[in-house]
Structure 1
Amino acid sequence: MNLKNRLTTMVIAGGILTAGASTPVYLDPKAPIEDRVEDALKRMTMEEKVAMCHAQSKFSSPGVPRLGIPEIWMSDGPHGVRAEISWNSWAYADWTNDSITAFPALTALAATWNPELAGVYGKAIGEEARYREKDVLLGPGVNIYRTPLNGRNFEYMGEDPYLAGEMVVPYVKELQKNGVAACVKHFALNNQEQWRGTVDVDLSDRALYEIYLPAFKKAVEDGGAWSIMGAYNKIWGQHCCHNERLLQDILRGEWDFDGVVITDWGGAHDTKEAALNGLDIEMGSYTNGLTSESAFGYDDYYLARPYREMLEKGEVPMSTLDAKARNILRLIFRTAMNTDKPFGSICSPEHYAAAKAIGDESVVLLKNNGILPLSPDFKGTILVVGDNAVRRLTDGGGSSELKPKDYVSPLSALQAVYGDRVKYAPGYSCGRTLYEAEDIVPAEVQDSLRNEAVEMAKDADVVIYIGGLNKNSWQDCESTDRREYELPFGQNELISELLKVNKNVIISNISGNAYAMPWVKDVPAILHTSYLGTMGGATMADVISGKVNPSGKLPYSIPVKIEDCGANSFGAEAYPGIESGDVDVVAIPGSVIEGGKNPKETYKEDILVGYRWHDTKKIPALFPFGHGLSYTEFEYGKPVVSGNTISENGKITVEVPVTNKGGREGSEIVELYISDLKSSLPRPVKELKGFSKIKLAPGETGTVKFEITPDALKYFDDKSHSWVVEPGKFKAHVGSSSTDIRHSILFDYK
C-alpha cells in the first residue's frame, strides 16, 4: 500500500493535508486565517461540524481527526491554571506535573490600578497556560461588584466599569500573544451566586450599558478577546448562554465579535435557542458545572444529537451550524494550530516575580496612626493571630482552586523577617475547606482558641491579626453567597477581646470582599489584602516591615453596614431576588447552585452602583472607592488646563503636579472624575474617567496628564439607544479617592 492510500489526513506545519486525491492539497499555514477557515469548512461533514459544538470531556471539545484539526483544551484559571481534571469526572486527575504559579486574585490586580501590571499578569499566566498545552484560559472575569455578599467578587475587577475596562485590555492582549485565548466571563450580570442558574434579572438599558457592559466591550473591541463565556443567570426571561439580545444584537451586532461563545459549565438549557442565538460551544451540561455528575452522555447535549436532528428536519437553518463551525475553526487556527505561538514556561523566577510585584502593588493601607511600618529591627515580641496566617488560600473557592508548586504563608514570611520574636495563636477555627457544605466547629473549641490568643496578647508588644474571609462555602467561594456582612467565626469578638488587653493590634485581613469593621476606631492600623497566591505571605511581610511601601487603592467601596450598599438597600426584590411559582430549571435537584422557585430580581439601584450610590445618596462609605494610604505623603499642585471648552471633536488636557513630601519613595494613584452639572436624565454625582499611577522619590515632583474628550462626558440614552453628551457645564475632579478631591475644574461642552 503506498503512502497516499495509507494516509487519510495529516497536519503539516499547522496546515491541512488531504490525501484522498491523486495530488495532495495543502492549505498554507501562513495563509490568512479566514481563507483557512473557509477551506476547512467546506471539507467538513455536518456531523463533524455538530461535534465541534459540544464537549467531549470535562474540559475539551472535539476537533476533526479526519482532517487533522485538533481538539480545543480549556482550563479554569482567572488567576492560575487549574490542576488537571479527569476526562469524564470532576475528580482531580492527580498528576504530579501540573503544579503552577498562583497569581493574585483579580480583585488584587484591580487594586493595583496599574494597567502595565495587568499586561505582565496576562503574559505570565499565558505562558503557564501555553506550557500546560491549554488553548483557552477561562478568564478574566469582569462582572461588576454590585454587592459585598457576592461570593465570587474576588474573581472580578471591582465596582467601576472604567477601572475594570482599563485593566482587562492589557491582560487579554498579553495573554493571547501566547496563542492562548482569553475567555472573558461571565457575560453578563452574573453578580451573585445564590440561584445563579435560575435568577431572572431585570434592569434598565442605562444600567446595562453604563455599568455592566463597558468592561466586556473593552475586552472585545480593544483587547480583541477570542472567546466569551456566557453567564448562568437569565436576563429578561432568557438564559444568558443563548440570550438573543446579549449574543446576537450586542456582542456580534454592535461589537462585531468574531470569536467563540462558550457556555459556563451547565449553562445551556434549550437546543433551539442555542442554535439560533449565537452559542458556539456547549460545556458541562446536565451537571452543576463543578461537582455533580450526569447519566447523560456528551451526544445528549443540547448542541449534540438534538441539534443534529433539528438540522436534519429543517427546524433550524443549516447556516446556524456553519456560523458556529466557522467561529470554532477561527479559534482553533488562532490557538491550537497557531504555528507562531511561543514556548510556554511554568513556575519560573519571572512568574514568581510577576506574582510578587502584582501583590506588592495591590495591598491597600486603609488606616495608620504611625505604627506601620514595623521595622525589621523591632525588638519587641510579636504575636500573630488568625487562621489566614497559616491557611493555604489557594484551596477551595470552586473553579478558582489552584495547585501551586510553592506557597509562602504570612506566618512563615513574618518569621523570616522578625525571627523568634514572632509567636502564633490561631484565635479561631474555620474547619476544613469544604464545598457546598460546612464543617461546624464546636463553641467550646472556639472559646478555647480565643482565650489562648487573648492570654498570649497580654504579653506581646504588637499583635498582627491575619484573619478575614477564606475560600470555604458561604464566604469567598463559587456557588454560594455570603450570609452576612460581618466577619465569620466570631472574629469581631476576638478582635475586640484582643484590643482590651493590647492596644497595638495591626489588622492585616485577607478578603476578596468588603466586610463590617465595628472595631475600626480602636485599631491603630488596617491593611486590606486580597488573595495573593504563591507569593502572598512575602508581600504581606514586606509591607508590614516597610520593605514595600503600600500603593494599592480600593477597587470597591467598603460600606459601614450592608444596608448602605445600593443593591442591599431595597430588600429582597433587588437582592437576591424573590421566588415565585414552580421550580424553574433545576438541573441538579437540591443543588446549592441551582435551586430557587423562579426567582426574579430587579436592579433597583439602577446606575448608582458603589461610589455612585454613596455619593449621590449622601451615604458615606466607611472607606471609599479609590482610597489607599502610603508610608509617605503626596501633595497635589494646582492643575494646568489647556482650555475651558470642549467641542464635538475636541479635548482639553489637565496636567497635575504631584510631589512626594515624605521621606521615602512611594507611588500615588491620581484619579480623575467627571460631573455633569445639568442633565436631562439623572446622573451620578461623579464618575471615574481617568487614573494614573506615578512613582516618586522623596522630594520629587512629577506630572500626571489627563485628556478629557467628549466620550468622558456621555451617558446612555435608552430612548434613542445611543451615547449622548449634552451642551452645558461640567466639572473635572482630581483626587486621591472618590471622596478625597484635591482640585476641581469647571469647563463647558459646546
Structure 2
Amino acid sequence: MTEVPDATAKAAALLAELSVAEKIAFLHQHQPAVERLGLAAFHTGCEALHGVAWIGRATVFPQAVGLGATWDRDLLRRVGEAVSTEVRAFRQDTENAFQASDVADKHPMVSLNVWAPVVNLLRDPRWGRNEEGYSEDPLATAEMATAYCRGLRGEHPTIWRTAPVLKHFLAYNVETDRDVIDIEVPPRVLNEYELPAFRGPIQAGVAAGVMPGYNLTNGVPNHVHPLIKDALRAWNPELVICSDAQAPSNLVEREKYFASHVESHAAALKAGLDSYTDNGPDARPTIERFTQALEQGLISEADIDAAVGRLLAMRAATGEFDPDTDPYAGIGADVISCPAHNALALQAARAAIVLLKNEDETLPLALSEPDETDPADNRLAAAVIGHLGSRVLTDWYSGELPYAVSIADGLRTAFGDRAVTAVDGAEVISLRAGEAEFGPFCHQDWGTSVQYPIAVRTLQAVESGKYLTLAGDGDTEVLAEAWTPDGWVVKELWEFHETDEGQTVVRSNASGRYLRVGDDGRLFADATTAEEATAFVVESLTSGIRQAVAAAASAKHAIVVLGNDPHINGRETVDRDGLALPADQEALLRAVVEANPNTTLVLVSSYPYAIGWAAENVPSIVWTAHGGQELGNAVADVLTGAHNPAGRLPQTWYAADSDLPAPQDYDVIGSGWTYQYSRREHLYAFGHGLSYTTFEYGDLVLTVREDQLGALTIVAETQITNSGSTAGQDVVQLYSHALDASVPTPLRRLQGFERIELAPGESHTVVFEVPAERLAHWSEELGAFRVQSGEYEFTVGRSSIDLPSSASVKLNLR
C-alpha cells in the first residue's frame, strides 16, 4: 500500500523469488506455504462485521445497522480497534484463544485480512442483509465505515493491525437471484449515491481492499466490471480485490457471461480481481484455469505479477514478514472478551437504542417491587412478554457469545427477581397422529419472505429447549436437538399446510419434504408429496396470548418484545416480502395492550417494520438492532432511565409496503427512494430518535470561505442547549437543498452530523465545514461532477424532517 513503501519493497522482493506456478497458486484464497522463502500458508478473509465471527468465542457488538444508529464515529473506531485486537489474539495466541470456544476446529488458520465493513446502502428495508449495513445515506455510511476501518487498521503509521476489505461492490441490495440479477443504475445514482460510500474509506487510506458483489451492474458482472479499475483503483492503485465465495465460477455456471472458466478467470484477472474465493479450500481448479489461460495467451505473467504483488504487499503491511518490528505482535488471548471490551459492548448497545415514541413521557419506567404492606398492591412491577424478551440472538456474521444478558435478565438485575416476570407468549402445541404424539413444542411464527411464501415456524421442545431439526443421513430424520436455528441452510423451519379434512401436514422448509411417522413411531422428513405425508391433528396445549394477557394484567407495566430471528426471515440469500410484523406477533401485541394499556413495545430487529397500529396505540416504542452480549443490560438501562437514549434511525421507516418501489428499482431519483427524494409521509423519518430531555437550537449562521486555489467551503454554525432537566446526548444533523438546481436534486442531503453530550442548561456550539464540492450533482453531459451557481438552503436539527433552524447562501462560481 502506498503509505508503507517498506512493505511494498518487501513484497516486490518476494515476488521476484516466486516461480510462475507458485504465483498462480497465490491467486486462490488459500495461498500455500513456500518454505524456501519462509512464507507461511495464508488465506484472505476473516469475518469481522461486528466482532470476530466464525472462529470462536469473542466479544459480540451490536449488528452493523445498530452501530449505524449510534451516529458516533469515535465509538465505531473504538469498536473496530477492539475487534481487530481480538483478531490478532486469535492469530497469535491460538491455543489460549480457542481454549473456551465451542467450535469444531479448535485451531483454524486466522487471517489478518478482515472482510468488513459492509458499505452497501440501506436503500430497501426489505433487503435480507439489512442488518449488515450502516445507513441509507452515502455520507453517513462513508463516515461510519471510515471510522470502523480506522479502528481495524490501527494507529501505527506503517503496520496495519488488520487489513479491512469493504463489501460488496456494487449496487448490491437484493438477495433473490443475487448471483444472476442485473441491476440498472442510472449514471447520476451511480456517482452520487452508490460510489461515495466506497470512495470515503478508500480515499481516507484505511481500506486495504474491496470485495465485488454477486450481481451484475448495468449488464456487466461486478467481478469483471470496468469500475474496478476506473473507480476503485483510480482512488487507490494498491487495493486488493477479493472475490466473493464461488463468484468466479458463477461467471460461467450461473451468469453464463463467459463460455469457459479459463476465459472468465482471465477476464477477471485483467479487470483487476486479485484473490479468488472459489471451490472452498480446493485451489486446484483455480490453478488449472490460470495455467491454461497463461498457456493460451489470454493473460501474461505481468498480469499475474500485478495481482500477486498487491496480495503480498497487503500481507507485508500487517507485519507478517518482519515480526520483530510488528507493534501488535504481543497481543494475546487475554484481550478476548476482556472487561474493557465487554464495557465497550455495553456502551455500543446503549448508544444504538432508538426511542421511537414516548407519549406522555411514559418512559423511563418508575419500577418498584410490590408493596407487601399494601394488600391492594399485589401487582408485579413489570411483565416482559415475547420470545425475544428472554433470549439474546446472534446472526450469520456474529461470533460465539461469551455470555448473554437478555432484556428480562437486565430488568431483574435492576429491580430484583420478584419484581419482573417473563413469558414467551407463544402457543404450546402437540402433533397427534393416531397413537403417536409429539411435543409439547413452543410454536413460533416468523412470518413470510420472498423465499418463504408461506409463514415459517419453529418448534422448540418445551422440556429441553431444543428445536426440531433435520438430522441423520440425508437430513431425513427429525429430532429436537438444535440449540438454535442456524446454518447456511436453516433446518429448523417448518410450514403448516391444512388438508381438506381439517388436519395438517408439516413440510420442511429446508428440504421441501414432508413429515411422516415411521413404523417405529419416530419422525422422518422423507415424504415427497403431501399425500405421502402423515396428517397431524395440531392440539393447542397452552394459549400464548392467554398467558401473555394474564401476565400483563398482573403487572403495572407490560414490556412486549417483538422482532426477528436473524437466521430466519431476512438474512443472506433471503429477502423479506414486506414490512409487516408476523401475524402472531401483531396479535400478541394487540391483546397485551387491551389487557394493560400501560405497555411499551421493544422491537429487536435487523430492519424496520411497518407498525402503524402500534405507532397509534402503544404509548412508548423502542427499537434496537440485535445488540450482542449486553443487549439486556442496555435495554434495561434505557427503559429505567439509567441511560438517556440518543440513537437515531439510520434509515427511513416506511408506513406501508405500498410506499416502496420494486426491490430491483435502484433509481432513487426517478422513483423517489430514500429520505433524499421521497415525498411520502413516513412512519419514522431518517435520523429520528427521541430523548428524555429536550434540546433547543439557536440560529444557523453560514459563512463562505475561499482558499488560495479558489475552492469554497461553507461553514455552518449553530448553538445547541439542553433545555431539559436531564443530561443527554443529541445527534445534530445538517442538511442542504439546492434551490436553483437545473436538475432534480435531493429534497435534503445530509452534509454533517455530530453526537454531543450536554448537561442540563449546558450549551455547545457545533461547527460544520462543507466543501462546496459536496453540493455537486453528476453531469451526464460533462461526465463529471458540477457545482452550480445559485442559492443553497441549509437546515439543522434532530432528524431529516425536524429541522428548526435554517439559512441560505448564494454561491457565485467562476
Q: TM-score range by the shorter chain?
A: 0.7 to 0.9
With over 3 angstroms needed to count, the CA separation of the structure-2 counterparts of 1:423 and 1:689, relative to structure 1, is same
- Cα offset, 1:606, TM superposition: 5.0
Aligned to 2:59: 101
With over 3 angstroms needed to count, the CA separation of the structure-2 counterparts of 1:115 and 1:211, relative to structure 1, is same
User: Are 1:45 and 2:25 an aligned pair?
Assistant: no
Residue from 112, 115, 140 that aligns with 1:138: 115
Aligned to 1:71: 41
- Cα offset, 1:180, TM superposition: 0.9
With over 3 angstroms needed to count, the CA separation of the structure-2 counterparts of 1:625 and 1:447, relative to structure 1, is farther
Distance 2:551 2:350 in 1: 30
Distance 1:734 1:228 in 2: 34
- Cα offset, 1:489, TM superposition: 5.3
User: For 1:578-612, what per-residue CA distance to the aligned partner results, in whole angstroms no more than 9, with x for missing partners?
Assistant: xxxxxxxxxxxxxxxxxxxxxxx664755843102
CA contact (8 A) 1:275 1:307 kept: no
User: Are 1:167 and 2:152 an aligned pair?
Assistant: no
CA contact (8 A) 2:368 2:381 kept: no
State which drifts further: 194-203 or 488-497. 488-497
Distance 1:701 1:319 in 2: 60
User: For 1:60-118, what per-residue CA distance to the aligned partner results, in whole angstroms no more than 9, with x for missing partners?
Assistant: x335333112333432220121233xxxxxxxxxxxxx311111111111111111111
Distance 1:749 1:446 in 2: 71
- Cα offset, 1:386, TM superposition: 1.1
Alignment of 1:472-487 (within 5 A): 472-475=567-570, 477-487=571-581
The residue type paired with residue 275 of structure 1 is: L
- Cα offset, 1:412, TM superposition: 1.0
Distance 2:89 2:265 in 1: 35
The residue type paired with residue 338 of structure 2 is: S
Alignment of 1:480-559 (within 5 A): 480-488=574-582, 490-517=584-611, 518-559=613-654
Residue from 44, 57, 74 that aligns with 1:116: 74
- Cα offset, 1:747, TM superposition: 0.6
Distance 1:528 1:333 in 2: 43
- Cα offset, 1:635, TM superposition: 0.6
CA contact (8 A) 2:367 2:382 kept: no
CA contact (8 A) 1:220 1:257 kept: no
Higher strand share: 2
SS state at 2:616 partner = coil
Distance 2:572 2:541 in 1: 26
Aligned to 1:464: 559
Aligned to 1:219: 201
Aligned to 2:295: 312
Aligned to 1:149: 126
Count of residue correspondences? 653
User: Are 1:414 and 2:414 an aligned pair?
Assistant: no
Residue from 345, 348, 354 that aligns with 2:344: 354
- Cα offset, 1:694, TM superposition: 1.2
- Cα offset, 1:446, TM superposition: 9.9
User: For 1:511-549, what per-residue CA distance to the aligned partner results, in whole angstroms no more than 9, with x for missing partners?
Assistant: 121111122111110001011111111111111111110
CA contact (8 A) 1:554 1:626 kept: yes
CA contact (8 A) 1:204 1:606 kept: no
User: Are 1:423 and 2:421 an aligned pair?
Assistant: yes
CA contact (8 A) 2:386 2:562 kept: yes
The residue type paired with residue 610 of structure 1 is: T
Residue from 23, 29, 49 that aligns with 1:55: 29
Residue from 240, 244, 248 that aligns with 1:260: 240
User: Are 1:392 and 2:392 an aligned pair?
Assistant: yes
SS state at 1:81 partner = coil
Distance 2:235 2:29 in 1: 27
CA contact (8 A) 1:674 1:688 kept: yes
Aligned to 1:405: 402
The residue type paired with residue 265 of structure 1 is: A
State which drifts further: 714-723 or 46-55. 714-723
Residue from 270, 275, 287 that aligns with 1:276: 270
The residue type paired with residue 250 of structure 1 is: A
Alignment of 1:603-642 (within 5 A): 603=667, 605-606=669-670, 608-614=672-678, 618-642=679-703
State which drifts further: 447-456 or 351-360. 447-456
With over 3 angstroms needed to count, the CA separation of the structure-2 counterparts of 1:530 and 1:681, relative to structure 1, is same
- Cα offset, 1:375, TM superposition: 3.4
With over 3 angstroms needed to count, the CA separation of the structure-2 counterparts of 1:235 and 1:446, relative to structure 1, is farther
Distance 2:702 2:771 in 1: 13
User: For 1:406-430, what per-residue CA distance to the aligned partner results, in whole angstroms no more than 9, with x for missing partners?
Assistant: 1111111111112211111111325
Distance 2:308 2:774 in 1: 39
- Cα offset, 1:708, TM superposition: 2.7
User: Are 1:375 and 2:355 an aligned pair?
Assistant: no
Residue from 422, 431, 439 that aligns with 2:493: 439
The residue type paired with residue 402 of structure 1 is: G
Distance 1:210 1:484 in 2: 27
CA contact (8 A) 1:486 1:516 kept: yes
The residue type paired with residue 421 of structure 1 is: A
The RMSD of aligned alpha carbons is 2.2
With over 3 angstroms needed to count, the CA separation of the structure-2 counterparts of 1:455 and 1:263, relative to structure 1, is same
Normalised to the residue count of structure 2, the TM-score between the two structures is 0.77
CA contact (8 A) 1:70 1:337 kept: no
With over 3 angstroms needed to count, the CA separation of the structure-2 counterparts of 1:642 and 1:472, relative to structure 1, is same
Distance 1:350 1:33 in 2: 32
Give identity over the alignment, percent.
Answer: 30
Distance 1:474 1:748 in 2: 49
Distance 1:558 1:739 in 2: 13
- Cα offset, 1:648, TM superposition: 4.8
Aligned to 2:481: none
User: Are 1:337 and 2:295 an aligned pair?
Assistant: no
User: For 1:222-245, what per-residue CA distance to the aligned partner results, in whole angstroms no more than 9, with x for missing partners?
Assistant: 1431121111111122221232x2
CA contact (8 A) 2:704 2:712 kept: no
With over 3 angstroms needed to count, the CA separation of the structure-2 counterparts of 1:609 and 1:467, relative to structure 1, is same
Distance 1:641 1:147 in 2: 34
The residue type paired with residue 140 of structure 2 is: L
- Cα offset, 1:474, TM superposition: 2.3
Distance 2:647 2:223 in 1: 35
CA contact (8 A) 2:143 2:201 kept: no
Distance 2:666 2:51 in 1: 34
User: For 1:551-577, what per-residue CA distance to the aligned partner results, in whole angstroms no more than 9, with x for missing partners?
Assistant: 010000101002213xxx2xxxx424x
Distance 2:668 2:724 in 1: 45
CA contact (8 A) 1:368 1:524 kept: yes
Aligned to 1:198: 180
SS state at 1:121 partner = helix
Residue from 210, 222, 232 that aligns with 1:251: 232
